[in-house]
Chains A and B, each alone.
Chain A
Amino acid sequence: MSNGEIPLKFLGAFGLRDPIRPNVKSCVSYARDMGNLTVRMVSGDHIETAKSVAIKAGILRHDE
């Protein structure tokens, strides 16, 4: 099953929502405003998923 050795047949894909916990946004803004910290996020998700989650959590701005 080494990469590239077996030509796979694509079956499909689906999307699951893993919601941000309710207190995340306030924690991020507290760390930034009161702690003067830059908050960053580590994720193994698709880059677009990570971006949209980071924007929702207040970690990234739309123009970043």
Chain B
Amino acid sequence: MDATTYVPVGNPTEVGFLKFLQDADIPIHLLIQRKNGRIRATVPFSSEKKRSAIALEDPDRPGIVVIHVKGGPEAILEMCQSMVAGERDAELGPDEKDEINEKIRQMASQMLRIIAFATFEMESDEWINRFETKAGSSPS
């Protein structure tokens, strides 16, 4: 790393993750900058819910809001109904969840802290109707 390399600071788990991405030559600083001005909502991590979330306007697809959720695998999996499978999406039913949970259990028994990711996208209008009007529920 040279003097101009972005050095993440903060929560050690987050920093560990960002450094892992940097080791894989992923330009995290540029990706983080792409969030600027596009954040529609954030839900901070709650140790009770074991997840955090952010809603972002997609920089590459105007009019699309993408919700990113990150947290403990047990909390994330129960909110999921589909999964990324190669280039396509696949159904995430009880059997697939059992399989993923078993893999997670194996990783966890090696003293690893597991962080899971999930996403959902919607048209900006739907986002506004659901979360930015008085009638809509606020993000939680």
Contact = CB atoms under 8 A, between A and B. Distances in A.
Contacts of B84: 9-12
Contacts, number: 129
A10 B83 contact: yes
Contact of B111 (A5, A44, A47, A56): A56
B105 to A, nearest CB: 5
Given A9-B84, A13-B116, A52 B67 contact: no
A56 to B, nearest CB: 6
Contact of B104 (A7, A13, A52): A13
B17 interface: yes
Nearest to A1: B139
B89 A14 contact: no
Given A14-B20, A49-B114, A9 B83 contact: yes
A25 interface: no
Interface in A23-43: none
B9 to A, nearest CB: 16
Given A10-B83, A14-B114, A15-B112, 10 more contacts: A4-B79, A6-B79, A7-B79, A7-B120, A10-B77, A13-B76, A15-B113, A16-B112, A46-B114, A49-B111
14 contacts: A3-B49, A7-B120, A8-B67, A8-B80, A8-B118, A9-B120, A13-B100, A13-B117, A14-B115, A16-B112, A16-B115, A46-B105, A49-B109, A52-B110
Interface of B: 12-13, 16-17, 20, 41, 43, 47, 49-50, 53, 55, 67, 69, 72-74, 76-77, 79-84, 89, 92, 100, 104-105, 107-120, 131, 137, 139-140
